[in-house]
Amino acid sequence: MDAGPPQAVEAASPALEEPAATTASQELRLMSALVVLLGLGLFFALPFVLSIGSVVFLPLVSAIVLTIILSPLADRLAEFGVPNVFASLFALLAFFAILILALTLILQPAIALVERLPALIDTVSLRFYELREQFFWIAQLNEKLGEVMGTTSEGVVVEGPTLLEELAFATPSVLIETLLAFLMTFFMIEARTRLRQRLLFDRSSLGSSVKAARVMREVQDRVAAYIFTVTCINAGVGVVVTLGAWLLGVDAPIMWGGLAMLLNFLPYIGPLAMVLILSFFGIGTSETILLGLLPAAAYLGLHTIEANVVTPSILGARFTMSPVMILIALSYFSWIWGFVGALLSVPILLTLTAFFDHVGRPNLIGFVFGESLFPATARAMQIEAEQTTGQAA
């Protein structure tokens, strides 16, 4: 039987290709829309789940971040012939020793300063009272406006729990979460080799294994290098603050250097808190407000140089992150886990950034205007559809 003229087959091929490509594009866009809706739902629902289950999720996330940070040290020790168990234990103990040393340098002088806190508050109040007396006409203007507007300042004060009651209530939970975090960190570091082997050899194709190896190596190297570099920079800031506090005659200079180092791990928020603390302490221990603000002004100048000159030149473009994304991560994880969440926010953001750099970042803005959510995936499906249509023709 005659199969028909060749011209008819050639004319039918474009007609077959166009519906197939359109159908694949529509299916991909529908799947992308579902992914976006699922991602938005997860983004808004995740804080409530993580906050309610913080006893479980906070140690788990902390252990994952610590494992990423400490695994290079354990790998280096294993290269020198140290057994895996001891290398993992030594890496965790080294981190624990540094943490205890930093907290000791900060908390021991801080306890002595707490006893002086009522006197500092009285001095700060006196300084602001003197300042207010110099601008008494503003207070009089405010009173006149209040009389004209007829406003009153009555309120109800509700007594809350004392500081000791809050500490007594929170201590058992903090101890449990800390113990779980360190235990999970040890077992994760110890099992890192088996996890890598399973991640590599359980893949269905060689390309997937290579991609998984690259993602795992890039995430570990980037986060560990970032934390190590930032720790060195913050240690330098702490040393400079210690020397500056000693030269200015501030009490407990080592404590102020350690506090500056710790708070510098929190972008934007940490340095701002340091400025406020130095301002409060300076005003409370100085004869005038201007002299009291001198330590805070000196630290603000140091932070300006560090944040705009030193850190960008050392970290480079590889670790550059959007300030908007950093602030979103800070507010997001601070809302969930408080101060610990703020400390974990930047490593988590850096981990997700390294992961999506290899897997592919979603094109959210382009998707709103009709583009593909994942351009690489869309191109691969288009090529596959064209090949299938060609074989059918």
| Residue 18 structure tokens | 């166009």
Q: From CA 33, how far away is CA 211, in angstroms rounded? A: 26
Q: Which amino acid is at 378?
A: A
Task: Say if 85 falls within a structural domain.
Answer: no
* Domain assignment of residue 366, yes or no: yes
- Select the more confidently predicted residue: 196 or 295: 295
Look at residue 72 in the predicted model and tell me its pLDDT.
87
CB atoms within 10 A of CB 150: 6
Query: Sorting pLDDT into bands at 50, 70 and 90, what band is 236?
Result: very high
**What percent of the chain shows pLDDT beyond 90?**
7
Q: Which residues contact 73 (CB under 8 A, 6 or more apart)?
A: 91, 94
Number of domains in the chain: 1
* Residue range 343-367: mean pLDDT, rounded: 78
- pLDDT of residue 243 exceeding 90, the answer is yes
- Residue 389 belongs to some domain of the structure: yes
pLDDT at 241: 92
Q: Is residue 384 part of a domain?
A: yes
Tell which residue, 268, 280, 271, has the closest CA to residue 121: 280
The arithmetic mean of pLDDT across residues 84-108, rounded, is 87
Mean pLDDT of the 212-231 span? 82
Q: What is the tens place of the pLDDT at every residue in 10-69?
A: 444 554 455 555 666 666 667 767 777 787 888 788 888 888 888 888 888 889 888 888
Determine, yes or no, domain membership for 373. yes
Q: Please check the confidence at residue 262 and state whether its pLDDT lies above 50.
A: yes
Alpha carbons within 13 A on the beta-carbon side of 27: 10
Give the pLDDT of residue 37.
79
Which of the four pLDDT bands, split at 50, 70 and 90, describes residue 319?
A: low
Quick check: 381 pLDDT over 60? no
Find, among 220, 174, 191, the residue nearest to 58 by Cα.
174
Q: How far is CA 383 from CA 25, 30, 31, 251, in A?
A: 12, 19, 18, 70
Rounded to the nearest 5 degrees, what angle is found at the Cα of 101, between the Cα atoms of 68 and 73?
25
Q: Is residue 383 part of a domain?
A: yes
pLDDT in the model for residue 328: 87
Kindly state whether residue 370 falls inside one of the protein's structural domains.
Answer: yes
Q: Is residue 381 part of a domain?
A: yes
| 130 phi, psi to nearest 5 deg | -65, -40
The confidence band for 158, taking pLDDT boundaries of 50, 70 and 90, is very low
The sign of the torsion formed by the CA atoms of 12, 17, 18, 22 equals positive
Reported as type and span, the H/E element at residue 37 is helix 6-52
What residue numbers bound the domain in which 386 lies?
362-393
Alpha-carbon dihedral 224, 226, 232, 234, rounded to 10 degrees: -130
Average pLDDT, the chain: 76
Using CA atoms, how far apart are residues 172 and 175, in angstroms rounded to an integer? 5
Half-sphere exposure of residue 45: CA atoms within 13 angstroms, side-chain side:
6
